[in-house]
Amino acid sequence: MSEQSLPHSLDDLKQAVQQVLERAADQGATSAEAAVSSDVGLSVTARLGEVETLEYHKDQGVGVTVYFGQCKGSASTSDLRTEAINEAVEAACRIARYTAKDPCSGLAEAELMAYDYPDLDLDHPWGIDAEQAIELAREIEAAAMDVDQRITNSDGGSVNAYRGGWVYGNSHGFVGGYVSTRHSLSCTVVGEQDGGMQRDYWYSASRKPEELEGAESVGQRAAERTLRRLGGRRIGTQQAAVLFSADVARSLVGHFVGAIRGSALYRKASFLLDQLGEPVFPEFMHLHEAPHLPGALGSAPFDSEGVRNMAKDLVKDGVLKTYVLDSYSACKLGLANTGNAGGVRNLIVEPTAGDLDSLVRDMGTGLLVTELIGHGINMVTGDYSRGASGFWVENGELAYPVEEITIAGNLRDMFQGIQAVGSDVDLRGSIRTGSILLDRMMIAGE
């Protein structure tokens, strides 16, 4: 485990894909596709100095889809033996023979395949064993508990190391794959003051273990975030400017991506229906996808249908330039495939202002949101209502922590009301954005 060796090599996975394709052809399928994965992981959590969880993870799987003309069947198995793969293919073929025709069923176009794809430097195994991970988790938690005597309890310090291989292939002759890693350190602690309790967390994530924040830093930041929430209060119901911190702003951008996703559009379940070429953000907004950033957490050399993905603008000068489509949704909408099967990869929201502190000063008076609760979003209308906590800002400075409030608005208006995007970009996911300042939202409190 210390070497994070995969149970199956990429060559093994490619052979499994070829077996699927050959067996599907033998069964009379007009075309087929397969995705095969193999991964390993180690996860450790230490709570109050004791080991709470120690998990070794080893998994594998085969997903099979076959097409008989425009009839589709799918099956899967976690067994990579020849007999099990053949059984999965045969099951998919039986299903396909009973399904209705769908004119949009089928593989992505052959000319879109990423036959020549780049090495994106995604594989960085972490040579850490269980004992080392346990000690590191304890260090993270101890660093948090030592910050202040008001830190009275802990949900633990955690260490996670993951490595996985993935191969996709189809009847166009495309077979491609890569190995990637993702490692993280995290900590969650509880603070207590004057009979009130608060919890907060921090984490660091990277493909490269050497790029993770230090254990002491992760623990201390978790504690500091918890301490600053102590003494939270409610505020009166009002309209005010709202600033989403970078880690929270990612969800706001995620709602935008969900609204321009092909599956939502062809079902007419999006508030951004028929908005291609229309202004959906202020003119200064620029959102673009960069799927081939070396070593980035959101990078991939091709999408989950084998289609070439490439850098592109989603929003330029505030105008929606493209939807997010895979082959099926592109067919349903009568548009070109954008290479986004499996989602967006490294969606970058370009900064337009300084860091979080400067945005707080620019806001003057309003609400800094650092946590969102619940999922009160209607993607058909864009209506937005979520529980929140954070800090009330006065005269450009944090005045006091705020809790038990709800923020509400409409996503279309919220996007148009963006005043600035901060330079404090959060790199820990597929959406890269800094803090986002909105002109106003309704805040429901006392």
- pLDDT tens digits, 29-52: 999 999 999 999 999 999 999 999
pTM for the structure as a whole:
0.94
Burial 245-266 (b: 16+ CB within 10 A, else e): bbbbbbebbbbbbbbbbbebbb
Tell me the two tokens of residue 284: 């200064």
Residue 446 has pLDDT above 90, yes or no: no
Tell me the two tokens of residue 305: 């249908």
Residue 3 has pLDDT above 90, yes or no: no
SS (H, E, C) 81-140: CHHHHHHHHHHHHHHHCCCCCCCCCCCCCHHHECCCCCCCCCCCCCCCCHHHHHHHHHHH
pLDDT value at position 2? 46
Residue 186 has pLDDT above 60, yes or no: yes
DSSP label of 71? E
Question: What pLDDT band is residue 375 in, cutting at 50, 70 and 90?
Answer: confident
Query: d(Cα 320, Cα 196) in Å, to the nearest integer?
Result: 46
pLDDT value at position 331? 97
To the nearest 10°, report the CA torsion of 309, 310, 311, 316: -80
- 333: buried, middle or exposed (CB in 10 Å: 19+, 13-18, 0-12)? middle
pLDDT value at position 341? 97
Amino acid letter, 153: N
Domains in the chain and their CATH numbers? Answer: 10-227 (3.30.2290.10), 232-446 (no CATH)
Residue 1 has pLDDT above 60, yes or no: no
pLDDT value at position 67? 98
Tell me the two tokens of residue 75: 């099956």
Mean pLDDT of the residues in the chain: 96
Question: What pLDDT band is residue 170 in, cutting at 50, 70 and 90?
Answer: very high
- pLDDT tens digits, 199-209: 999 999 999 99
pLDDT value at position 381? 97
Residue 223 has pLDDT above 80, yes or no: yes
